[in-house]
Amino acid sequence: MVLFSSDEGMKRIKEATYQADFYKLANNFESQSNGAVCGPTTATIVLNSLNRDILRSNELKINKDTTSISANEIKYIRKGLDPFLNQYTQNNIFDVAGGQNSSKENIKTKEEMYGKPVDGVSSGGFQLRELHQLFLAHHVKSELIVVTDQSEDEKIKAEILLNLATPDDFVVVNYKRSAMGQSGGGHISPLGAYHKPSDSVLIMDVNPAKADWVWVKMTDLISAMRTMDTVENRGYLLVSKK
């Protein structure tokens, strides 16, 4: 792995073969607020990147997150001024109306993400399929690819590179940190770019308190996705507007 902030890392972004997604993701990037929300944080970044123009114009209106200002503080806001922004956050990402192929009942709640049992079973965090359902509920297109022993590396690479080469679609990866030489378990983050000379992709890690953005070899990332999660292997999502 090569740190994005290193001389070599900065050199790679300048030389990146495909970097159509990097600048939008960077412009809308935010760090996860706690250790459980790598999935919702990634969804927040991607949905803001996909929809920034229509969010700014109010063509798309979503439930505003009012948790950033307390009831004691809000009384000092000038009368008639709405201080809350029309954008996705790690809190309001759970407010869904039910998109195509999805219903509100299918969406993991914030309480369930933190460990509230469902039918007697507790499953913290977000698995890839659960994040896929969250994207669908927000009326975007999400293609789920589970990486198994039968999955062909070249096909995976081709799909990821095609996405990174085009604007207004994004790759979300679910991988096991330890399989890539990092400390920790399963994690979710978006990909920002591909550097052909080193055959590496840029993982824009949403948990900088634990790890930096890194360039990792494509083969190593695929191996880290070809690992077992709670009920099935990890993998990736290809997310775009409908």
User: Could you report the per-residue pLDDT of 107-156, keeping only the tens digit for each?
Assistant: 899 999 999 998 888 888 999 999 999 999 999 999 999 999 999 999 99
| Per-residue model confidence (pLDDT) at position 102 | 44
Token match 């007697």: residue? 120
What's the whole-number mean pLDDT along residues 7-30? 97
| Per-residue model confidence (pLDDT) at position 104 | 54
Q: Are strands 186-195 and 200-203 parallel, antiparallel or unpaired?
A: antiparallel
Task: To the nearest 10°, report the CA torsion of 234, 30, 207, 22.
Answer: 60
pTM for the structure as a whole = 0.94
pLDDT for residue 71 is more than 70: yes
Annotate 59-97 with b (16+ C-beta within 10 A) or e (fewer).
Answer: eeebebbeeeeeeeeeeeeeeeeeebebbbbbbbbbbbe
What's the whole-number mean pLDDT along residues 39-43? 98
> What H or E segment, with its residue span, contains residue 134?
helix 128-137
What's the whole-number mean pLDDT along residues 92-98? 77
